Amino acid sequence: MDIVLGASGHVGGTVARRLLEQGRAVTVVLHRSEQAAAWSARGASVVVLDVHDTAALTAAFCKARRAFLLNPPASPSLDVDREERRTIQSILDAVRGASLEKIVVQSTYGAQDNPHCGDLGSLYTFEQGARETGVPLCIVRAAYFMSNWFGALSTARQSGVFSSLLPKDLKAPMVAPQDVGELAARLLVAPVEETGTYSIEGPETYTPEDVATALSAVLEGDVTVDEIPRSQWLEFYRSHGFCTEAAQSYATMTGIFVDGRYERPRTPLRGATDLQTCLRDQASISSR
């Protein structure tokens, strides 16, 4: 039995689907029951629980041999640094309480030992804690998700403009979440001895101006990007529902990314999905 966290999202959903396509026994862990019937129809077993319920999560892990693990994002209305580490601790405690033979952990480019830099800090904590469990481990470090621009689809469709905290001309490694899921699924079924850290990005780097060009093609209309200056990042995050602590943490993370204060892998794996295809696929889904 393989167990998959985050099956309601882009990466975890891809992992679960690929495992099922291979005829493997799969349990998906969901926070809410809305998608349970759909996953059952695909042939998966379903467990609905709160990942902070360590006992319930441990019981689910005890029925599996291998697990795909990701850290569900905390609500930005809360102190994300504290809340995400609380979630990570519960997941790792559950791993320690089970007898898994292999785990695959989703992480990110730029993961670093910093307690107040959003996902970069929390996923570094996740990586280190997963190593300390002693369970054979693959870490998948993903570049900036192309799905971060999905919200721009609706705003660009309505107004022809979308906002970016990244400078318009900043070339950045980006990756489609489904390509991350494909890699994670492959690593999960690979021999136990196949471990290590795997970095993945898309076929090329992109700027926010490239995002505007892709959106223009997808929406068949002119789209432009509104660059938010650094001095307004905190205000921008606060206006989008972030509490003070979360806004500061995400602003710090954005600064690290924009300034390039992280190590880029020299020979990353390459996902096949380009930016325009990723956005077009999402536009097709959202229009159904």
Mind listing the pLDDT tens digit for each residue in 55-112? 999 999 999 999 999 999 999 999 999 999 999 999 999 999 999 999 999 999 999 9
| Residue 67 structure tokens | 């697990």
pLDDT tens, residue by residue, 156-173: 999 999 999 999 999 999
Give how far the C-alpha of residue 158 lies from the chain's centroid of Cα atoms, to the nearest Å: 27
pTM: 0.97
C-alpha angle 18-90-243 in degrees, rounded to nearest 5: 95
**CA gap 87, 49 in Å, rounded:** 13
Residue 95: what are its φ and ψ, rounded to 5°?
-60, -45
3-state class percentages of the chain: helix first, strand second, coil last, to nearest 5? 45, 20, 35
Residue 8: what are its φ and ψ, rounded to 5°?
-80, -5
Whether 141 and 197 have beta carbons less than 8 Å apart is answered as yes
pLDDT tens, residue by residue, 198-225: 999 999 999 999 999 999 999 999 999 9
